[in-house]
Structure 1
Amino acid sequence: MRAVIIDPPGELFPIADVKAHLRVDGGDDDGYLEGLVAAAAGWIGGPAGWLGRSLGMQTLEVTGRCFDDRGLGVIMLPARPVAEVVAVSYVDTSGVERAIEPEQYRLIGDIGINPVPGFTWPSTADVPEAVRIRYKAGYEAGHIPAPIRLAILMLVGQWYGNREAASNRPQVELPFAVEALLMPFKVLA
């Protein structure tokens, strides 16, 4: 299933926290720092991010050809943690779009949905976006796990201090430290 962001997350943490981490005074670089935070968060989080998780609370939508392409009954939703399923709809074999009522499926932890006992996913038309699931995922403001937050700050610090793509100075492998902080949170499947 393919995921797109419908409503992106807001500010992950105050720019004052970034400036304190970098020991930056004044507001001349605030816009630049906000851009660096957005770039780091985009590289780490969201449906296409390295982590496979949503950082700030956002609304996403996945589409696919059918409900259960793995034969398990469970639909694993990308960019976890899933907080709420907003809507599930599909195009039936007659070509009519239909909604599935919330009572007919349930959220499994914070990773996906499956049908409730006694209900099975319906057959769908053979079209690329026959199934559409809209949901909210991510951490509430102020609740991003500390290692993820620190990884963002470390990337921002690296990029803020090294604004060029190449350097004559010896480089330290910062990405290893960032990866070590993020690995316990990485979605592997």
Structure 2
Amino acid sequence: TTLVQLGSFLLFIKPKAYYNILLQLAISSKMPSAKEELKEQLKASPSFRAELKDKLKSALLSKVPEARPIVYNFDSYMVTDVQPGQLRVLEVDERLVLPTNTLIRLLVTASDVIHSWAVPSLGIKMDAIPGRLNQVWLTINREGVFYGQCSELCGVNHTYMPIVVEAISPRAFLTEYVKKWIQ
């Protein structure tokens, strides 16, 4: 289900119906030339539809007063000296901690070569490209620890690039982690 704000209306729609609603809005437009142009762009260009979808989501977040973005940079490295109970070649020095049941926007880039940031159990795989900022929206439905790895052959140390996402309740996230970032 997708949440879209159009003016003062909030729409909850299924992904397949999303483009049909946008197409209907384009058809009901009062300007014939703009209506036809938008109608053709919606039909022909998947990237235009994806960009429009992202713009609508960001507009929604920017218009809701309670939605305050929390931004922080995150780097982690593989732990070579694992402790009992840790997974060899999958444990990192710093886990990415995210709240559950929250719309999250991840921005990923790389500083050296192309990587692919993948956490299969969360359904995330996105390229990290030097000089480019890629984004993905996600909502984690349950608490837990989710493991992933770089899934792009990026060099000699490709097999030593694990990813660990720890999902915790929004209350725990706010009390523990936001206090750290504000200080």
The two structures have a TM-score, normalised by structure 1, of 0.23
Q: Give the structure-2-normalised TM-score.
A: 0.24
Higher helix share: 2
